[in-house]
Every structure is written in C-alpha cells, then in structure tokens.
Amino acid sequence: MSTFEFEAELAAEREYVASLYEKLDEERRKAEQELERNLRERTATSPQARWQQQASVDHLTTRIHALKVADSGLCFGRIDETDGETTYIGRIGLFDEENDYEPLVIDWRAPASRPFYCATVAKPEGLVRRRHFRSRGHEVVDFHDDVLDLNAAEGGGDADSALLAALNAPREGRMRDIVATIQAEQDEIIRLGHGGVVVIQGGPGTGKTAVALHRVAHLLYNHRDRLARRGVLVVGPNEGFLDYVGNVLPSLGETSVVFATTGMLMPGVVATREDGPDAKRVKGSLAMVDVVKAAVADRQELPDEPIPIELDHVDDLKVDAKLAERARQYTRDAGLLHNDAREVFHQHLVEGLVTRAVNQIGKGWLDKRDTVLRAELAADTTAALKGSDDVVRAVNRLWPFLTPQRLLADLFSDRARLAAAAPNLSEADRESLYREVGDAWTVSDAPLLDEAVEFLGVDHSAEKRAAREREEHVKYTKGVLQVLETDDEMDDETLRASDVVDAETLADRNEERDGRDIATRASADREWTYGHVVVDEAQELSEMDWRILMRRCPTKSMTIVGDLSQRQSAAGARTWGAMLDQYVPQRWMYRELTINYRTPSEIMEVASRVLAELDATLAMPESIRSNGIRPQARETNAAAVAETVAEAVRTSPEEGAAVVIVPEGMTLDLAEFGVDAPVLTPQASKGLEFDLVVVVEPHRILADPLHGAAELYVALTRATQRLVVVHSEPLPAVLDGLESAVAETR
C-alpha cells in the first residue's frame, strides 16, 4: 500500500469511527432520558408495578454504564472476509435502526467477532485481513493490517514476503497487536486445549511471547465465562516488559488480565530491587519453607524472666517459663495457624494462671474436695484474668500477632533470629540473608512473604465485619417487605412484594457494590485464584516462585514460556521437569519453537559463539532473516565510552527504537550528548526487542563466571536490525569476529 493509499484509508477509517461515536452519544442520550423519565414516574402503586419500574431502572443504569465504558476505545479493529464482507469490532454493539438493524460495530464477545482473535496465517478462518486501529481519544491515529490470505488479498504476494516485511518494520515502544507472523508451528500451540500446563521453549526471536499472548486471546474468547470471571495472570521478568506487551490483551475489550512481575504477587508489596546472586539462590530454594516455618515457631516464645500478673487477693501470680511452655505445647497440638492460635494460647495461659490463683486464694481454707466452691472461685478468677491487661501484654509478647512483613523484616535484620530459624543453612548463606533494613523488600522476598501466610494465617476480620453488616441489612429488608404486605385490602390474588423480590435480592440492590474491575480486585486479593496463568522468561523463576504461582492457579491451567539457554538466575530452572514434575507430574506438555523470525542471521552468527561458550549442547534457533548489516565493534578509551555510545545511537540509520545495554552497576549519562535512548542492564532488557542495540563493555558482562555468558547472549539478541559493541578493553575471545569486522571498516 502506497503512502497516498494509506492516508486515504486512514481518513476513511477516521470518518467511520467518528460516526460510531456520534451513534454512541445518541444511544447514551436516549438511555439517560429514559432513565430520568422512569425515576420521575409516580404512577407505580402496586408491588408488581414498582418491581417492573425498578427492573427498568436497573437495565437502563447498566446500559448507560456500558455505553460510558465503551467511550474509551469504542472500535479497535476490523475484519475483511473473502466474500467481501467487512465487520468492525468494538467494546459494544451498535446498530442502524433505520436499516433493518444492520450492525455498525459488533461486540467483541459476539460469535461473529471470533475470527478477529482466532485467525492466523495457517488458519485464516475465512478472513483476507485483520485490521488493528490505534486511537488517541476518539480519533484513529494509525492502523496496521495482518494479511491472512495473501492469494485473496488485493495485490497478491506471497506469505514469506509479507512476513519479512512485517518483521523488518521499525519497532515501537509497545508491542504491536499480534500480527500475521503466526506460522504453522506456532498456530498448533495457540490452539491447544486449555487444560494442564503448556511449556513453550524457544530461543531469541522465535515469537514465543507473541504465541503465548495469542494463545491467551484464543482461550479468553473460547472460554470467556470461566476466564473472564477468574481473570488471567501474566507474569513477566520486569516492568518494562509488562509495559511492552500490556496493550495486547486489553484490546479484547475486557479488564480481566493482571500483569505482574514476581515481585508484585504479594498484595501490598511492590518489589523491584534484586538480591545479590547468593541471597537470590538461597531465597529461591525450597529450604526457605523450613526457614519461614521455624521463624514463626521462634516467635512463640518463653519468658526469660517471670512476667508478673496483677490480681486482687493474689500476691505472687506470674507467667513463668514452665507455665508458658505448657500453654504453648497445648496450643501447638491444636494444629492451628499462628495468628488463629493466639486465642487458644490466651485461653490455655489463663487456665494455667487460674489454677495457680485458686490454689493461692484457697490455701489453708479451701478443701480440694469442695468442687462446687472451687468451680465458682475458678469462674470468677477466669473472668478477671481474661480481661486483664497484664495477660494481654503477656500474650502479645509470647505469642504476638504477626504480619508476613513483620515476621520477615524482623528475621532478616536480626542475626540471632536467622541462626534460630535457619540452623541447617551454612553461616555464609545465613549472612547472605541478613540486611540492616529488614523491610527493604526485594523481588525474591515476595514468594517468602506469601509463604509466611501459609503459617501465619489470613486476617479475615474485614470479611467477618462485612458478613455481620450484611446480616443486619437482610434483617432490615425483611422488615420492609413485611410492612409492604400488611395492607388490609390485599387478597389471595394480589401480587405481593415477596412474590417478585426476596430480602436477599433487595439487600443486594441497596448495597454499595464493589465497582472495581476483575484485574484490580484480583491484584489486591492474596486469596484470589486465576483461571489461567502465563509466565514469560520462566527459566528465571525459582522453586519458591513456582510455589506462589501454583497457589494462584489451583486448576494448573498455565502457559509457560522460556528459553533455558537464557537463564541468568542461579535459582532458575535447569530443566523444565525439575520445576514442574513436583506440581503437575505427567500433566504438562512441551512444545519447541525453532525458527528465529526476529534476529538477522548476521547477529545470530555472533551470538551463536556466546551460546556455545554457555553450553555447547544447546541448539540455536534457525534465523530466516538476513539484512546484510554486519555487527560492528567500536573501541574507545574509558573516558570516552559515553560519547562513543551516543555517537553510535545518533549516527545509526535505523528509524526505530534504540537501546543501550550496560553491565550491572554501570551508569551512562547520554543526555549531555543529546541522546535519550534507554540504558538497561541485560536483566532489564529480557523479553524486549529494539531496532538498534548498543552493547557496552562486554568483558564486564562476561566477568560473572556463573551467568556472564547468558547475560551477554541476552544482550546481543535484543537487536532486530543493527548491533554495535562499544568497548574500552580488548574484546572477549567469543567476539573476535567483531574485532576483525571493525578492522575492515577503519
């Protein structure tokens, strides 16, 4: 399509979408006027008429809300069928009443919209093309076409040329809506059934993220009721990645997708800081389950010195270690979670104190055989001690209420507590867990905080309070219905209020409902379970990370995406079976993507040598692109690194996105040279792609003997067009090819 043709098409689409907004405004005005008329209506006197009026008000209120929501991104796509039919897809359906209710835009949930989400090049489902609109406010600012049936599409062409044209297009700040690069091996994965776990292994550029998101779109459409009700969780390696892909799934017209890193999976904590390698390895191991459990037990303390308890007529009542130990053992035997057991501990502590107090009070005059008097004295003493501030303080000291945050903050900032909770860890491993600021949360802490809930219990006080309030509300509405039915003129044939609405329903109507969408509610609720979970860069997840994810999805319906050759974390997966067999033995299937659509062969030739250094047995995906641009190296001195990097970005002929990838801990100020390209570490660049990639000081990236090769492999394979390496020290041996290429260009 020429520039002139594109501009003409864009103008036509703008005009059509503008007409849809006019129709939307008209529909909203009509609904608001009808709602106002209903609310002013005073002729409904019988219960039946009042019920009908209320039903109309409810319907109109819901309709107005839907029309308001649709105002944001009303129409986001179009499908062109082989028979010439064109259908627009949007967040709500609108129809032309004057033309036999011809659809102007159809709701994305309607059966007719299915091909928009499910068609691929391999299975076009009767479509010639799928068009995605990019809008700003009410205006269409751009569109992108997925050509699905090239033989039927105007201008003909072949699949490979269209695919390569799409792949060679400049990258944007956000991931494009999933385009027609879904080929046969990818399409088979997308259409797999929704049960169980699917592992998608693929090297750089194989499109595994696109396949995973397209699979979720397919599942959301075909299993909408279940997945929209429970939501979908998408877990990525960093916030930059989430922002990159975050505009894909919401284009479904729903807000049932939660995007998070593992550091965001514990409500109330957003952790972005990474631990050092040793701490990450220790925190990621299953040994931490026992450490957390022991840390909780360590807080169920015995007093070093007896705790005095003031009680009338008793001079020397105390909680000593013997009494506390007996109460603790009784409480532990009950098998309750720590916070739930506090009341039991309180009770046993009081019982022990009562026995001592009664013995002291009755010493010398109370016969042990006088059970009635002893019971009366014990009852009075129990009542006094239950309300004793001294006893409450003793309980708070010996069996404190603990949040996960308090438990772990106290543990990590106290070497003595670490020694008590982790006797089986080496001294060096315990020291790796210590930090002065206990609540300086890291990404690796999130699964530990979640694990702590398994031993501490969940605070249900808010839910209990809400249940009591609802019970009172239902009781009140029952009284209202009784008043409505005390009319003396009622006979057996008169419709009663209770015939059309019960107290529960009436209470529901008058309650303030939770208006938050699924994504907002799910991300704030630790007990929420999802209908499906997607994990990208899954090779980085630790054993503890997998525990928290498996809790979030009891049905174990998951799409897991990763590349074992790119593993950087010492706590990550070495094999998929090692991580998954303990949770879903015999219930996960493996699929591998072998074709690299993204990275030119010139760059992959360089990266292959780094991969061989990492592990000679790992297979390199086959790159189908060659752009004729050889990767370059630019040598400079240490003082001029930033200037050389800025020059590489500024003089690059690429029009798309550029990034600078530096070793961990290195900073570059490019602003003084007029360049605003992002500067990322290899870890932060995972899952992203850029037209131009400048890798800085590769010898420093390789300096990490455990993960340096994996990090350099990741850095090199982010480029879709051009790769430049800037160095102030001799290039590592694995990049010798770059050094000789530079010599040719001097």
Cβ atoms 529, 506 nearer than 8 A: no
Q: What pLDDT, in 10s, does the model give residues 165-200?
A: 445 555 544 433 333 344 567 777 887 876 789 999
Mean pLDDT for the stretch of residues 223-249: 78
Taking all residues of the chain, what is their mean pLDDT, rounded to a whole number? 83
Strands 102-107 and 532-535: unpaired
The residue ranking higher by pLDDT, 223 or 672, is 672
Of the candidate ranges 39-43, 87-91, 357-361, 631-635, the one whose mean pLDDT is the lowest: 39-43
Produce one character per residue of 469-487: b if its CB has 16 or more CB atoms within 10 Å, e if not.
eeeebeeebbeebeeeeee
Q: What pLDDT, in 10s, does the model give residues 603-655?
A: 999 998 888 887 777 778 888 788 888 999 999 999 999 999 999 999 888 77
Q: What pLDDT, in 10s, does the model give residues 445-487?
A: 999 999 999 999 987 655 555 566 667 766 766 666 566 555 4
CATH of 185-270+535-591, picked from 3.40.50.300, 3.40.190.10, 3.40.50.280, 3.40.1280.10, is 3.40.50.300
Query: What separation in angstroms does the CA of 58 have from each of 24, 397, 593?
Result: 20, 53, 50
With vertex at residue 290, the alpha carbon angle to CA 285 and CA 295, rounded to the nearest 5 degrees, is 120
Strands 719-727 and 632-635: parallel
Nearest to 88 by CA among 74, 98, 101, 69: 74
Predicted local confidence at residue 180, as pLDDT? 32
Predicted local confidence at residue 158, as pLDDT? 39
pLDDT-based confidence at residue 705 (cuts at 50, 70, 90): confident
Half-sphere exposure of 412 (CA within 13 A, CB side): 25
Mean pLDDT for the stretch of residues 674-703: 91
Q: What pLDDT, in 10s, does the model give residues 111-151?
A: 887 788 777 777 888 999 888 888 888 999 888 887 887 66
Predicted local confidence at residue 171, as pLDDT? 52
DSSP state of 311: B
The residue ranking higher by pLDDT, 285 or 599, is 285
Element (H, E) at 695: strand 690-696
Cβ atoms 530, 194 nearer than 8 A: no
CA 212 to chain centre: 15
Predicted local confidence at residue 554, as pLDDT? 93
Query: What separation in angstroms does the CA of 116 have from each of 150, 159, 223, 542?
Result: 17, 19, 16, 37
Of the candidate ranges 415-429, 486-500, 634-648, the one whose mean pLDDT is the lowest: 486-500
Cβ atoms 183, 80 nearer than 8 A: no
Cβ atoms 147, 162 nearer than 8 A: yes
pLDDT-based confidence at residue 287 (cuts at 50, 70, 90): very high
Predicted local confidence at residue 204, as pLDDT? 84
Q: Helices (DSSP H) in 310-341: which residue ranges?
A: 321-333
Cβ atoms 663, 681 nearer than 8 A: yes
Rg for the chain, CA atoms, rounded: 33
Half-sphere exposure of 588 (CA within 13 A, CB side): 24
pLDDT exceeds 70 at position 501: no
Nearest to 245 by CA among 256, 257, 254, 253: 257
The three state secondary structure string of 513-566 is: CCCCCHHHHHHCCCCCCCCEEEECCHHHCCHHHHHHHHHHCCCCCEEEEECHHH
pLDDT exceeds 50 at position 159: no
Q: Per-residue DSSP letters for 340-406?
A: TTHHHHHHHHHHHHHHHHHHHHTTTT--TT-HHHHHHHHHHHHHHHHT-HHHHHHHHHHS----HHH
Predicted local confidence at residue 347, as pLDDT? 95
Q: Does domain 601-740 have CATH number 3.40.50.300?
A: yes
Predicted local confidence at residue 505, as pLDDT? 59
In single-letter form, the type of residue at position 413 comes to S
How would you class 150 by CB atoms within 10 Å of its CB: exposed for 0-12, middle for 13-18, buried for 19 or more?
Answer: buried
pLDDT-based confidence at residue 44 (cuts at 50, 70, 90): low
pLDDT exceeds 90 at position 417: yes
Q: What global pTM score does this model have?
A: 0.71
With a pLDDT cut of 70, the percent of the chain lying above it is: 83
Distance CA 308, CA 315 (A): 10
The residue ranking higher by pLDDT, 499 or 698, is 698
Cβ atoms 422, 291 nearer than 8 A: yes
Mean pLDDT for the stretch of residues 273-285: 93
Q: What pLDDT, in 10s, does the model give residues 710-723?
A: 899 999 999 989 99
Distance CA 68, CA 65 (A): 5
For CATH 3.40.50.300, the residue range(s) in the chain are 185-270+535-591, 601-740
pLDDT-based confidence at residue 226 (cuts at 50, 70, 90): confident
Beta bridge partners of 723: 693
